[in-house]
């Protein structure tokens, strides 16, 4: 009898330990994100006015994780940066803006990335392409995640616009002309999503968020819990 009771306790404790160790992913596809969005605040860059050019692309990036998005870097292939990407703290929304050059008949395109400061070294990557005219081209947006410890690469724009996954970079892209789909990809720990407008003066919204709740920014986690969403 005593041996059976001891065995029962061992199984019970082991089961509790296993349950506490299991990480349940957040199903963002089925989860309403309004509560999370209301926890996001605008950073200082959101106050700047946009340049008055024919082609302007403003990219807003929201950080839903509990980690800083650090070491921002942009490689612009055509056009100019009105403002550069900046460090993005948890629950903040920051933006950077690119536009066509003063002279010429071309738009703006390039790539920007941030390191997710969780100690592993992966980067969140955004590609944009906004042409001068829509006769032969359309707006394009791509979002991706580089594998941990992958260094930023000057050829990421070419890869994200013309090619597919590889060289440590996993991404999705979409054309934005008649439709405005939300694109997303994840690497098992983090997810990045994006959506863009269809005009010459356009805006893109990018969200970097975790797959698991314990990597969520505390304010967002609390907001979702209050509504019994997680």
Beta strands in 28-162 (DSSP E): 41-42, 56-63, 69-78, 80-83, 92-99, 108-116, 123-130, 139-146
The confidence score (pLDDT) of residue 19 equals 42
Could you tell me how far CA 106 lies from the centroid of its own chain?
A: 27
Q: Contact, 112 vs 96, CB < 8 A?
A: yes
In three-state secondary structure terms, 15 is helix
Which residue from 42, 185, 161, 66 is spatially nearest to 117, judged by alpha carbons? Answer: 66
The confidence score (pLDDT) of residue 21 equals 57
Confidence of residue 200 (pLDDT cuts 50, 70, 90): very high
Instruction: Tell me if 106 is assigned to some domain.
Output: yes
43-85 pLDDT, tens digit per residue, is 988 988 887 899 999 999 999 999 999 999 999 999 999 999 9
The answer on pLDDT for 156 being more than 90 is yes
Average pLDDT over residues 170-198: 97
Instruction: Tell me if 14 is assigned to some domain.
Output: no
Instruction: Tell me if 220 is assigned to some domain.
Output: yes
The confidence score (pLDDT) of residue 36 equals 74
Phi, psi of 112 (to 5 degrees): -135, 155
Residues in contact with 99: Cβ distance below 8 Å, sequence separation at least 6, in sequence order: 50, 51, 53, 55, 56, 57, 79, 80, 82, 108
The confidence score (pLDDT) of residue 13 equals 45
Q: Which residue has the higher pLDDT, 206 or 40?
A: 206
Q: Contact, 185 vs 206, CB < 8 A?
A: no
| CATH number for the domain that contains residue 189 | 2.60.270.20
Instruction: For residue 14, give both structure tokens.
Output: 């082991």
Instruction: Tell me if 200 is assigned to some domain.
Output: yes
The confidence score (pLDDT) of residue 155 equals 84
Average pLDDT over residues 133-146: 96
Domain interval for residue 71: 34-226
6-51 pLDDT, tens digit per residue, is 544 444 444 444 444 577 888 887 665 666 777 889 998 898 888 7
Instruction: Tell me if 199 is assigned to some domain.
Output: yes
Instruction: Give dist(CA 169, CA 25) in Å, integer.
Output: 22
Average pLDDT over residues 157-178: 96
The confidence score (pLDDT) of residue 182 equals 96
The confidence score (pLDDT) of residue 4 equals 55
Instruction: Tell me if 218 is assigned to some domain.
Output: yes
The confidence score (pLDDT) of residue 10 equals 44
Instruction: Tell me if 21 is assigned to some domain.
Output: no
Instruction: For residue 52, give both structure tokens.
Output: 């008055």
Instruction: Tell me if 152 is assigned to some domain.
Output: yes
**Structural domains in the chain (count):** 1
71-129 pLDDT, tens digit per residue, is 999 999 999 999 999 999 999 999 999 999 988 888 999 999 999 999 999 999 999 99
The confidence score (pLDDT) of residue 3 equals 53
């Amino acid at each position: 009898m005593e041996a059976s009771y001891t065995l029962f306790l061992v199984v019970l404790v082991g089961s509790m330990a296993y349950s506490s160790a299991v990480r349940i992913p957040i199903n963002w596809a089925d989860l309403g994100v309004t509560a999370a969005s209301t926890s996001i605040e605008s950073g200082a860059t959101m106050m700047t006015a946009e340049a008055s050019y024919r082609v302007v692309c403003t990219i807003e990036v929201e950080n839903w994780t509990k980690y800083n998005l650090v070491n921002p870097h942009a490689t612009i292939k055509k056009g100019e940066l009105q403002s550069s990407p900046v460090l993005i703290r948890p629950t903040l929304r920051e933006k950077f803006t690119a536009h066509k050059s003063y002279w010429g008949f071309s738009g703006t395109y390039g790539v920007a990335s941030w390191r997710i400061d969780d100690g592993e070294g992966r980067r969140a990557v955004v590609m944009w392409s906004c042409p001068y005219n829509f006769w032969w081209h359309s707006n394009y947006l791509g979002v991706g995640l580089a594998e941990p410890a992958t260094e930023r690469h000057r050829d990421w724009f070419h890869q994200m616009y013309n090619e597919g996954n590889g060289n440590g970079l996993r991404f999705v892209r979409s054309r934005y002309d008649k439709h405005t789909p939300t694109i997303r990809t994840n690497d098992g720990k983090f997810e990045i999503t994006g959506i863009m407008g269809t005009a010459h003066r356009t805006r893109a919204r990018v969200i970097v968020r975790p797959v698991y709740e314990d990597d969520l920014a505390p304010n967002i986690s609390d907001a979702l819990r209050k509504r019994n969403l997680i």
